[in-house]
Amino acid sequence: TPLLSLTHSHTLDSPGFDPKNFFCQLRYILILSLSNPPQKTFLTLPFLPPPLFTMSTEQIPVSNDASQAPINPLAAHPVSPQDAQGRQPASSSAASSELASGKMKLKGALRHFADFPIKGIDFVDIMPLFLDPTVHHALGEVLELQVKEGFETLPDVIVGLDARGFLFGPGMALRLGTGFAPVRKQGKLPGPCVTAEYQKEYGSDFFQMQQDAIKPGQKVLIVDDIIATGGSAKAAADLVKKLGGDIIGYLFILEIPGLNGREKLGDTKTVILLEDA
């Protein structure tokens, strides 16, 4: 028995025949037939001018495996979010070697200033990383490799702290194919914001993020140039949590030793890009 039976009164060359409508209806019937188990009844569509055609689902080949679910021709093949965005964490000896070499180049560009901002402090200046375009380019490459090597999953959003987190956070986001969201001092952002307080040496201050900066469930990486006491990074984390974000880690270029800043960040993974710089 043929799958489709066309009547003599409704052939392809009949007056008033609409090919586009015909094939749209044919596709619809094929989808219905593939989505239902075989039976001896005939499928007819009331919106067709009878008797344009009928279809027997008995003619559709079906597996004898009773456990097999009916075919759904409209179901999409599952693709992981990272596959769809072309972002895959990768780890290899070549990447590790490139990362180590890049870090050495960055360390060589840093400058040290004794007794700044007060006597007894050896200040490490990161601004030369942005002065030379080749070093700046290397910084972007190293940051990208560090995220892919150092974290189990890639972020959906990079959150950068006011103000030097803004220097490299957006570039990281571009390289990783993610969004960037700023954390700013109170009163600097327009629209509805969430607020978190943090302690400074001589009092407290407030950070803010816009309410739509992060969607619930998004994976967030918090970045800044230096971690000292960890208070500002902790405040940024509080803001991310208020917005429903999932913090996958923290990344800093440098760390001031002896201030135990990492303790404020708990067990969440913290990476220092240039250790012992």
**Is CATH 3.10.20.30 correct for 92-272?**
no
Give the Cα separation of 233 and 235 in Å (integer). Answer: 5
Q: DSSP assignment of 12-74, as one string?
A: TTSTT--HHHHHHHHHHHHHHHHTS---SSEE--TTS-TTSEEEEGGGS---S-TTSPPP-TT
pLDDT tens track, the chain, 277 positions? 444 444 444 455 555 666 666 666 666 666 666 655 555 444 444 444 444 444 444 444 444 554 444 444 433 334 344 544 555 544 468 889 999 999 999 999 999 999 999 998 899 999 999 999 999 999 999 999 999 999 999 999 999 999 999 999 999 999 999 999 999 999 999 999 999 999 887 789 999 999 999 999 999 999 999 999 999 999 999 999 999 999 999 999 999 989 999 999 999 999 999 997 6
109 Ramachandran zone, left/alpha/beta (phi>0; psi -120 to 50): alpha
